[in-house]
Amino acid sequence: MSHLRKSLYRVLETSAGKRRGISLAFNLLLITIITLNAIAIVLHTVPEYDRQFAVLFTDFEVFSVVFFTIEYIMRIWVCVENEKYSHWFWGRLHYIFSTSAIIDFLAIFPFYFTLFATDLAIVRILRLFRIFRLFRISRYSHAFRLIQNVVTEKKEELILSTMLVIFMLIIVSSVMYYVEHAAQPDQFSSIPATMWWGVTAMTTVGYGDIHPITPLGKLLGGITAILGIGLFALPTGILVSGFNEHIRDRKAPQRKVCPHCGKEI
């Protein structure tokens, strides 16, 4: 039993070792099923495809959930092989509340819930939860770990930038509301409504569904767009430099130092 658990652990977790071939095959299968799920979730909403392939979509849904459920239970069973979760009860409980196990759970739980749910509104919301199946791919991607690292490292600067953006958004939207409300009471109906304009102006999206028409509003709108470019340049610059540093580090893990000036060579 303990031997089977060890073997299964090696298959589920992609790590160098004996059963590497089987592990690779299993994980490729898992990535394929996740990708197919992504395609199914997206195409499922197109009425033509939904009508034509309704049975196929349902069958694949049931198959995916069964597959993911078996995998989820197995992962909980074998997780004790990992030193971090070695205790038979507390270790498994600890594992269940780890980020990746929660994602795995959210990928299957809505299906079972919808079997008993009668309220259509709740079923609709639960369907949205299927998107969590896509996040399962993060287990395999360096990209997500990279983002996590960059965000963790540049946390302080990003919070600072976000605060500035929110602060600026409130100020700009408040002033715009008082300037444009009289001219366009339907569009700039309240400060929260004006904030939608504020975001589209500061990010330079500019859908055109809401925009100032008074001369003063246009002046303020122009200044907002210019300010927005400057403001969003800040977090952008922070992220770009953060990513560049990490990518460089991964490519050149070892560095030599000049004995004369101590600079990296």
Pick between residue 112 and residue 144 the one whose CB is nearest to its own copies. 144
For position 265 contacting its own copies by CB under 8 A, the verdict is yes
What would the x/- binding string for its own copies be over residues 41 to 70, using CB under 8 A?
xxxxxxx-----------------------
Provide, rounded to whole angstroms, the least separation between the CB of residue 1 and its own copies: 39
Pick between residue 82 and residue 190 the one whose CB is nearest to its own copies. 190
* One-letter-per-residue 3-state SS of the chain: CHHHHHHHHHHHCCCCCCCHHHHHHHHHHHHHHHHHHHHHHHHCCCHHHHHHCHHHHHHHHHHHHHHHHHHHHHHHHHHHHCHHHCCCCHHHHHHHCCHHHHHHHHHHHHHHHHHHCCCHHHHHHHHHHHHHHHHHHHHCCHHHHHHHHHHHHCHHHHHHHHHHHHHHHHHHHHHHHHHHCCCCCCCCCCHHHHHHHHHHHHCCCCCCCCCCCCHHHHHHHHHHHHHHHHHHHHHHHHHHHHHHHHHHHHHCCCCCECCCCCCEC
Chain positions 209 to 228 lying near its own copies, rule: CB under 8 A, are: 209, 211, 213, 215, 218, 221-222, 225-226, 228
For position 208 contacting its own copies by CB under 8 A, the verdict is yes
Chain positions 144 to 163 lying near its own copies, rule: CB under 8 A, are: 146-147, 157, 160, 163
Pick between residue 25 and residue 229 the one whose CB is nearest to its own copies. 229
Provide, rounded to whole angstroms, the least separation between the CB of residue 89 and its own copies: 35
Provide, rounded to whole angstroms, the least separation between the CB of residue 7 and its own copies: 32
Pick between residue 17 and residue 206 the one whose CB is nearest to its own copies. 206
What would the x/- binding string for its own copies be over residues 163 to 182, using CB under 8 A?
xxx-x--xx-xxx-xx--x-
Chain positions 104 to 143 lying near its own copies, rule: CB under 8 A, are: 124-125, 127-128, 131, 134, 137, 141-143
